Structure 1
Amino acid sequence: MKGLLHRRTARDRDTPATSTGGVAGVVAPASVEVTPRFLRVGDGYAATLVVTGYPAEVGPGWLEPLLAWPGRLDLALHIDPLPAPVAASRLRTQRARLESSRRADSDRGKLSDPYVEAAAEDAADLAQRLARGAAKLFRVGLYLTVHARTEAELLEACAQVKAAAASTLLEVQPATWRHLAGWTTTLPLATDSLQMLRTMDTQALAAAFPLASPDLPAPLPGDPPVTGGVLYGVNPASNGIVWWDRWSQENYNSVVLARSGAGKSYFVKLEVLRNLYQGVHISIVDPEDEYLRLAEAVGGTVVRLGMPGVKINPLDLPVGDHRPDVLTRRGLFLHTVISVLVGHPPPPAERAALDRAILAVYRQAGITADPHTHTRPAPLLKDLVGCLETDPEPAAAQLAARLAPWVHGSFADLFNGPTTHAPLGHLVVWSLRHLPDELRTIGTLLALDHIWRQVDLPVQSRSAATPPVRRIVVVDEAWLLMRDGEGARFLFRMSKAARKRFAGLTVITQDVADVLGTELGQAVVSNAATQVLLKQAPQAIDALADAFSLTGGERRLLLGARQGQGLLICGIARTGFEAISSEQEHALCTTNPAELYDDQEDEDDL
């Protein structure tokens, strides 16, 4: 038997345009075809399932598997409160039936039915809570309307919804011959046309409310719409889009923690690319040359420290910084540089000689506190050592001898000339892979100094008509810096002060213990509003769970995550995601040796 309901095509002229009938005439489907097993609503198909069986115990969010089902599903929960006298009377009758069954079995010498015993105890507990006013009873109807484009897809979708319901011990049955009533029941009309109800108490009903969602919360009513942000990926639980704007958070820092091979560098490269599209300037500390192909593709600048001909002069003054204390701050930084070169802070006599030599070497180059002199060529490290050698104090000669390997010896290649590469542009990659171990600490310090000078550039140096540039500083394999005192202090300073300079720090590391095991590392993590956790090792999950207050489900997610899957955390907002990319982005971001080898073979063939 089939029925066909057509929408009225012409509205009565006497009916006002704002009437309910007029609105229904606009939003209602063109036709509704009724069959025993489904409805054909407009160009689609729909079927209603009724929840007829419930589990004995439920936890918070027990409807979550249905709400997170990746398809079009209308879920309606109809609630009708029972007056207290009626609830008490019905509960008394139910307890009498259960007690009668128990006594009858006892008189006949039968063993007690465990289901009857459990039901009787639950009824007695509910009666006590009802008498004290700690609970109320409600008549509840739960209905699901599944939508699909074709009849075959509808059958498959209904089977999937039944499986999702069975995972929470819910029994569902199709509303055969009553699908039209079921469809109207799940519309926002507050009308239950099926009346297939179940009695629930307050706790079970409260746990049914969808107070949690696998997706990020939407803006509250009245809040401005979200306009910025970049695509992080999709949510595997709901197929929703994970779109995140780090620039709208309390601070702009982020931390990415994952085991080796989990896809952390791949994810960060995608974020770097998508922020470059929006005009963000990015500086990257790259220990393993993972960002070179990306930099070449977008016209970035690569400074390969340790390669022949690449030199950095630590005595260079910041370009564009016209503050009156520029020379003083550069002198203090040189004290730090010399301490790193000699392995420890010099004794007081050598520090005094060094301070005299710093003032003298800039004076010889014609550079004074006057900002107009700061454009003159800066002296070199060998000039500073020359000033120490001419100092009559024995401490100065001793310090000059200790600096000789960095000026005339085996370590002089990095410093024996003016700076050869100007680290300027929208993307600057500082490659540290070719630095020997003896030069890695000082090379990293010089790279971080150049990055900080760009971040700390005063607003007065920019044009009044030009808005401040947003900057991101990416530090890959941050555990290498955490082992070094100067590197750890740089990360700490950046995490604290970057927000005031319209900059954000991105810390990437695979060694969770080195980050969470130190006070500086914990400060870096706590000052990151955006926290990304990818696949973790079982040995590190306990420390990570304590630091980020992970639930049992989140722990299992991180232990069993595929490459590129993880968890995005910002305050109380948490959601799973899987990074996605286009073919062009994937070619720039992948570090899979097999894929890179195949690409190289294709280029050789061409």
Structure 2
Amino acid sequence: MTSQTRTRRSQRHRTNGLAPQRAAAFTPDAVAVGARSLEVGGEWVASFAVTGFPREVHPGWLAPLLTYPGRLDVSVHVEPIDPATAAGRLKKQLAKLESSRRHGAEHGRLLDPQVEAATEDAYDLSARIARGEGKLYRVGLYLTIHTATEHALADEVAALRSLCASLLLDAKHTTYRSLQGWVSTLPMGLDLIGMKRTFDTTALSAAFPFTSPDLPAPDPASVAAPSGVLYGFNVGSQALVHWDRFDERMHNHNAVILGRSGAGKSYLVKLELLRSLYRGIEVAVVDPENEYARLAAAVGGTYVHLGAPGVQLNPFDLPIHTRPDGRRTAPKDALLRRTLFLHTVLAVLLGDEPDATQRTALDRGIAATYQRAGITADARTWTRPAPTLRMLRDHLADAGKTGDSAAGELAARLHPFVDGAFKLLFDGPTTTHPDGHLIVFSLRDLPDELKPIGTLLTLDTVWRRVSHPAIRRPRLVVVDEAWLLMHDRAGAEFLFRMAKASRKHWAGLTVATQDTADVLGSDLGKAVVANAATQVLLRQAPQAIEEVVRTFDLSAGERQFLLSADRGQGLLSAGTQRVAFQSLASPTEHALVTSSPEFLASLEDYETDSGWVDVR
């Protein structure tokens, strides 16, 4: 019969001090110690010490332990051996092996293959140590398996030992030292078992388990913390996935995120946004569904509610920049560029591209409208108040009365946006000039007919801020549900131009959409995707997967992964590097970025716990 010892957490830890409260989150209520297992809190654990290793291994040969489907803790303890001690031990080992070989030869015995192999390895290792090509280390490898019940523990132990046997590892139970074995696998750096083997540098580096195809680190030789944003953990190796879109080696800072509805697309976008703010990156968001309001309020961002009474954006505003000395300037071709942009605005507003006659009338009307406001080719006049859409409509209506039918038709089509039901966004000069580290433009309350033009005007406002020559800092521009703008050719062309030019201004464009087929079905959509150095693919619909496979040149395994991925799982692609990852958020971050109806309904009762949340 196995005797068990039960210890309970001391009552003195239940004080009001902050340190004991933090410790209580990681300390089990009780530990029951058995000969080969432990009952820790409400789960059962068993620990193993690896005593036998294969003679030859390949890099990353321990990776199968990290991809084990159950909960398995792997602990590698490394202790360097000084060269003098290493040389002495090698001499003694070589002497023992040579003595064994000669003893067998003197008695006419056959050569022992294991002794011969060990002798060759010892000579080779001794030569490499003498040449300074490597060092010796004492390495201890310990494993701890976790299950919910004692019955399931026996099955998991058998499965783990079978896996170790397939890797030519000899895993032994830490019999009567189960508590010490469990502690040795905790992230405390304590080796209470002390069952170590001697490894050289090559063997130790090959045993390093985190060598799955992760994204490369910016500087593999650096000991500093990874730069960039934490996306989550690698599905294959459980290693953390960091990625820096603003790395100087990247061709551009743009990203595209494609996924079906409910795949965790907006969740991932908001998580990256929040962690980019930690790094001091300025962010502007086009929010079509009012999903970023809580996040903006939590971090002190600026919230622009388009569609609310009294909130207008005037498309005639010239890109005027205020210099540090207080002077107001504009690019040399500001008026020409604004005229071209107004052609795009009216094409999106009217729903189709004007014909040649209407384009001519419109061009004359835009020039005349600026002249009536006192703005001419002279740059000194560009700081005057800009005209409005109403003034353009009135000029076109006057031209129509004098016989210009194209101008009269345009004036009639602009009536709903000046005096009709859709005038709320254009009825006057611009009323808001947002500023801050996070700016959110909400489009939810705009009518569906105005959401494409609202997105376009918002992007124009953001772009004028991004291209400000006096302010140089990294920026992100997030366009959520970009299909609203991609459906219109003029809007898609503006988004494409923004993607092409953003790198010059130290900015990155993030395009997120759930209509993958519509984006990839157009040349402009493919061009936007092609100009994104960072590409994230979440779960895809079967109807769109073939187009995704052709566009991104996916393998059969990657195709199947995208069809069966859980919520929050995706494929991060950056050039030739790809990694399958699972989004990872802290409870505080989860409370700010989730849009789950169940969570929002119980928001008042939500209490933040410690730990992390897998986005599934």
Q: Same fold (TM over 0.5)?
A: yes
Distance 1:224 1:176 in 2: 35
Distance 1:232 1:165 in 2: 31
8 Å contact 1:165–1:172 — kept in the other structure? yes
The answer to which of 586-595 and 239-248 deviates more is 239-248
8 Å contact 1:63–1:208 — kept in the other structure? yes
1:383 and 2:395 are equivalent in the alignment: no
8 Å contact 2:520–2:526 — kept in the other structure? yes
1:473 and 2:477 are equivalent in the alignment: yes
1:147 and 2:142 are equivalent in the alignment: yes
User: Which residue in the other structure is 2:234 paired with?
Assistant: 235
1:413 and 2:424 are equivalent in the alignment: yes
Amino acid at match of 1:250: H
User: Which residue in the other structure is 1:97 paired with?
Assistant: none
Distance 1:340 1:189 in 2: 64
How much does 1:598 deviate? Answer: 0.7
1:456 and 2:457 are equivalent in the alignment: no
The answer to which of 404-413 and 493-502 deviates more is 404-413
Amino acid at match of 1:47: V
8 Å contact 1:214–1:576 — kept in the other structure? no
8 Å contact 2:49–2:173 — kept in the other structure? no
Larger Rg: 1
Cα 1:453–1:260 shift into 2, 3 Å = same
User: Which residue in the other structure is 2:41 paired with?
Assistant: none
Q: Percent identity?
A: 53
Amino acid at match of 2:142: H
How much does 1:148 deviate? Answer: 5.5
Gaps of 5+ in 2: 1-35, 37-46, 79-138, 148-152, 175-193, 322-328, 608-616
Q: Aligned to 1:294, what secondary structure does the other structure show?
A: helix
Cα 1:156–1:295 shift into 2, 3 Å = same
* Alignment equivalent of 1:529, drawn from 533, 558, 572: 533
Distance 1:482 1:260 in 2: 17
Amino acid at match of 2:280: G
How much does 1:552 deviate? Answer: 4.0
User: Which residue in the other structure is 2:291 paired with?
Assistant: 290
Q: Aligned to 2:361, what secondary structure does the other structure show?
A: helix
Distance 2:173 2:297 in 1: 63
Q: Aligned to 2:283, what secondary structure does the other structure show?
A: strand
8 Å contact 1:49–1:175 — kept in the other structure? no
Distance 2:435 2:492 in 1: 24
Cα 1:524–1:212 shift into 2, 3 Å = farther
Gaps of 5+ in 1: 1-36, 38-43, 76-143, 193-206
1:353 and 2:361 are equivalent in the alignment: yes
The answer to which of 350-359 and 317-326 deviates more is 350-359
User: Which residue in the other structure is 1:596 paired with?
Assistant: 600
1:514 and 2:518 are equivalent in the alignment: yes
8 Å contact 1:285–1:431 — kept in the other structure? yes
8 Å contact 1:313–1:418 — kept in the other structure? yes
How much does 1:456 deviate? Answer: 3.0
* Alignment equivalent of 1:341, drawn from 314, 328, 349: 349
User: Which residue in the other structure is 2:199 paired with?
Assistant: 187
1:253 and 2:254 are equivalent in the alignment: yes
Amino acid at match of 2:422: F
Distance 1:235 1:499 in 2: 29
How much does 1:529 deviate? Answer: 1.5
User: Which residue in the other structure is 1:213 paired with?
Assistant: 212
Note the alpha carbon deviations across 1:396-439, whole angstroms, 9 max, x for none.
34433332332222322221212222233322222222222332
How much does 1:503 deviate? Answer: 1.0
Distance 2:450 2:172 in 1: 75
Note the alpha carbon deviations across 1:459-497, whole angstroms, 9 max, x for none.
2xx0xxx6x121111111222322211222122222222
Q: Aligned to 1:288, what secondary structure does the other structure show?
A: coil
8 Å contact 1:340–1:441 — kept in the other structure? yes
Amino acid at match of 2:404: P
Distance 2:397 2:202 in 1: 91
How much does 1:572 deviate? Answer: 2.5
* Alignment equivalent of 1:394, drawn from 401, 404, 426: 404
User: Which residue in the other structure is 2:309 paired with?
Assistant: 308
**RMSD of the alignment, in Å?**
4.4
Q: Aligned to 2:592, what secondary structure does the other structure show?
A: helix
Distance 1:272 1:446 in 2: 22
8 Å contact 2:66–2:238 — kept in the other structure? no
Distance 1:598 1:585 in 2: 16
User: Which residue in the other structure is 2:281 paired with?
Assistant: 280
Cα 1:482–1:213 shift into 2, 3 Å = same
The answer to which of 359-368 and 309-318 deviates more is 359-368
User: Which residue in the other structure is 2:499 paired with?
Assistant: 495
Cα 1:381–1:46 shift into 2, 3 Å = same
User: Which residue in the other structure is 1:48 paired with?
Assistant: 51
Distance 1:61 1:538 in 2: 34
Distance 1:558 1:565 in 2: 8
User: Which residue in the other structure is 1:365 paired with?
Assistant: 373
Q: Aligned to 1:586, what secondary structure does the other structure show?
A: helix
Distance 2:362 2:593 in 1: 46
8 Å contact 2:48–2:173 — kept in the other structure? no
How much does 1:74 deviate? Answer: 8.3
Q: Aligned to 1:316, what secondary structure does the other structure show?
A: coil
Distance 1:500 1:342 in 2: 32
1:584 and 2:594 are equivalent in the alignment: no
Cα 1:175–1:164 shift into 2, 3 Å = closer
How much does 1:158 deviate? Answer: 7.6
Q: Aligned to 1:314, what secondary structure does the other structure show?
A: coil
User: Which residue in the other structure is 2:114 paired with?
Assistant: none
8 Å contact 2:285–2:440 — kept in the other structure? yes
Q: Aligned to 1:580, what secondary structure does the other structure show?
A: strand
Amino acid at match of 1:352: T
Distance 2:164 2:303 in 1: 55
How much does 1:504 deviate? Answer: 0.8
Q: Aligned to 2:352, what secondary structure does the other structure show?
A: coil
8 Å contact 1:282–1:426 — kept in the other structure? yes
Cα 1:295–1:367 shift into 2, 3 Å = same
Note the alpha carbon deviations across 1:198-255, whole angstroms, 9 max, x for none.
xxxxxxxxx9999961433345666796763122122243332212111112211111
Distance 1:583 1:378 in 2: 47
Note the alpha carbon deviations across 1:495-552, whole angstroms, 9 max, x for none.
2221122111111122221222222222222222112222333443343333333344
How much does 1:583 deviate? Answer: 2.3
Amino acid at match of 1:265: S
User: Which residue in the other structure is 2:335 paired with?
Assistant: 327
Amino acid at match of 1:394: D
Q: Aligned to 2:366, what secondary structure does the other structure show?
A: helix
8 Å contact 2:50–2:169 — kept in the other structure? no
How much does 1:357 deviate? Answer: 2.9
* Alignment equivalent of 2:440, drawn from 424, 429, 454: 429
Distance 2:263 2:275 in 1: 20
1:550 and 2:554 are equivalent in the alignment: yes
Distance 1:334 1:593 in 2: 40
User: Which residue in the other structure is 1:28 paired with?
Assistant: none
8 Å contact 2:539–2:570 — kept in the other structure? yes
Cα 1:393–1:510 shift into 2, 3 Å = same
How much does 1:147 deviate? Answer: 2.1
Note the alpha carbon deviations across 1:288-332, whole angstroms, 9 max, x for none.
111121122222223333333222211111231511211121122
Distance 2:143 2:355 in 1: 79
Amino acid at match of 2:75: R
Cα 1:532–1:350 shift into 2, 3 Å = closer
Amino acid at match of 2:523: E
8 Å contact 2:50–2:170 — kept in the other structure? no
User: Which residue in the other structure is 1:122 paired with?
Assistant: none
Cα 1:597–1:414 shift into 2, 3 Å = same
Q: Aligned to 2:511, what secondary structure does the other structure show?
A: strand
8 Å contact 1:251–1:504 — kept in the other structure? yes
* Alignment equivalent of 1:404, drawn from 401, 412, 415: 415
Distance 1:211 1:549 in 2: 26
How much does 1:171 deviate? Answer: 5.9
Matches within 5 A, 1:56-67: 64-66=63-65
Distance 1:247 1:572 in 2: 17
